[in-house]
Amino acid sequence: MFRIFALVFVGLSLFTAPVDAEDFSQRQQVIFKTAATVDGYLTEKLHAEFWGAVKASPDYYPGMEQDISATIGPMILDGLDFQREAWESVERSYAARAVVKTDGFVSARKKIENNPNPAVRAASIPRLQNADTILQAAAERTSYSSGDTNVFITPELIEQVKTGIDASFFRIQLLANPTWSGKPQEWQLKEAGLRVMSLLPFVYEQQDLAGDNGAAAKVASYSVNLDGQNFLTLASIKGAVKVDSDAGLAQIARGTLTGAGISAPSVVSMKFRGEASAVATGQTQTSDGPIYGSVRAVRPSAREDVIVLFSISGTSQVDADSNRQGLELSTMID
C-alpha cells in the first residue's frame, strides 16, 4: 500500500525552468531539486539553509532576497502552467489514442520558446522534446524511456503525476518565499473521503487489489514525504473489503506492514473515535538501514470502506508511532 514514488524523472524531465543558474550554489540547486521532484520534500531547515546561503554571499545586498524571489516567481508560474497543460494533454492523448494538445499547452509552450533569456530557452529544448515523446507514448500506449527508467503511460500514472506536479510546485512556492510559512492547511482527499491538516499536500495513488473472494478492491491512497526519512499515507480501501471483526481489521493492519517488507509486526485491537480498529507496529532491516512502520486500520460504521493511517520512518519506532498518532489527530473521516 505504501511505496516511495519512482517518478522523479517525470517531474524533472518536464521542469521547464531549471534553477541551475550561476547565481545559485550547487547546494542551493540540490535543495531546489529536492523540493521540485514529484516525491520530494521541503523542511524549514532546508528553507533556512537555502536563504542563509543568499545572505552569506559576498555579493549580498539589502533586498537581494526579494529580487531573487521575484525572479523565481514567474519561473514557477510558467513551469506550473506548462506541466499542468502537458499532463492534461497526456491524459487526453491516452483517452483518444492520438496526440491531443490543449490550447493551454500550445500557449504555455510558445511562452517558454519565446523566453527572453537564451539560457532558459536552450535548457528548455530537451524538456519540450521530452514532452512530445511522452504525449506520443500516451497516444500509442507504448512505453516511455528515460535513462534507466522504462514505464507505460497509464491512467494511474497520469493521475499520480498530476497530483505530484501540484505538490512539487506548492513546495517550490514555499521555497521561493524568503519568509518561511509553516502554517498547516486543510487538504481535501476526495478519492478517499478524508480531510487532513498538513503543511504539505499529499500525492494520490490508486491501486487495485484482489480480495479474499476474488473480487477487486480499490485502494485510494495519499502520501507525503516529510523529510526524506519519514513518510505518511492515508488510504481508503473499497470494494472487496468485508470487515466484521477485530480479526479482520488486524489482518489489514498486519498486511499493510508486511506489504512494506515488515514481516512480523505486532498487532493490537483498540477503539478509535468509538470505532473498531487495529494498530500494527514493527521494523525491518534493509541495505539502507532499518525501516520502522506504524499503521492503524479502522472501519467507520457509517462508511463502506476501511481507512488506513500509515507511517514509515527511517529514524526510529518512536518517530513512526508519533508520526502516525499526529496523522490521526490531523485527519477527519467524513
How many CB atoms are closer than 10 A to CB 124?
23
Same domain, yes or no: 191 and 228:
yes
pLDDT at site 276: 92
Decide if 3 is inside a domain. no
pLDDT at site 9: 35
Last residue of a domain, one of 128, 157, 176: 176
Same domain, yes or no: 21 and 144:
yes
Task: Give the three cell numbers for residue 235.
Answer: 488510504
pLDDT over 70, % of the chain: 88
Distance CA 28, CA 50 (A): 6
Residue 244 has pLDDT above 70, yes or no: no
Same domain, yes or no: 120 and 220:
no
Same domain, yes or no: 166 and 279:
no
The pTM of the full predicted model, rounded to 2 decimals, is 0.79
Task: Give the three cell numbers for residue 329.
Answer: 489527530
Last residue of a domain, one of 176, 197, 231: 176
Query: Confidence band (pLDDT; 50, 70, 90) for 13?
Result: very low
Same domain, yes or no: 101 and 170:
yes
Positive or negative, the CA dihedral 188, 314, 34, 70 is positive
Same domain, yes or no: 270 and 130:
no
Query: Confidence band (pLDDT; 50, 70, 90) for 240?
Result: low
The region, left, alpha or beta by phi > 0 then psi within -120 to 50, assigned to residue 273 is: left
Residue type present at position 240: A
258-267 pLDDT tens trace: 989 998 889 9
Number of domains observed in the structure of the chain: 2
> In CATH, what number is assigned to the domain containing residue 249?
3.40.1000.10
Residue numbers of the domain that contains 76: 8-176
Query: Confidence band (pLDDT; 50, 70, 90) for 30?
Result: very high
pLDDT at site 248: 86
Residue-averaged pLDDT of the chain? 86
Query: Confidence band (pLDDT; 50, 70, 90) for 65?
Result: very high
Query: Confidence band (pLDDT; 50, 70, 90) for 4?
Result: very low
Distance CA 117, CA 128 (A): 16
Decide if 150 is inside a domain. yes
Q: Which residue has the cell 524538456?
A: 127
Query: By the 8 A CB rule, do 194 and 331 touch?
Result: yes
Decide if 300 is inside a domain. yes
Last residue of a domain, one of 129, 158, 176: 176
Decide if 299 is inside a domain. yes
SS3 at position 240: coil
Torsion of CA 286, 6, 185, 188, to 10 degrees: -110
pLDDT at site 38: 75
| Helix intervals (H) in the chain | 8-13, 26-36, 44-56, 64-96, 103-113, 118-140, 155-176, 246-259, 317-330
Chain centre to alpha carbon of residue 229 = 14
Same domain, yes or no: 170 and 314:
no
> 327 versus 116: which is more confidently predicted?
327
Mean pLDDT of the 49-58 span: 93
Decide if 311 is inside a domain. yes
- What order of strands is seen across the sheet that includes strand 194-198? 185-189, 194-198, 331-333
Same domain, yes or no: 168 and 234:
no
Query: By the 8 A CB rule, do 252 and 308 touch?
Result: yes
Decide if 1 is inside a domain. no
Give Cβ neighbours of residue 80 (< 8 Å, ≥ 6 apart): 165, 169
Mean pLDDT of the 202-223 span: 78
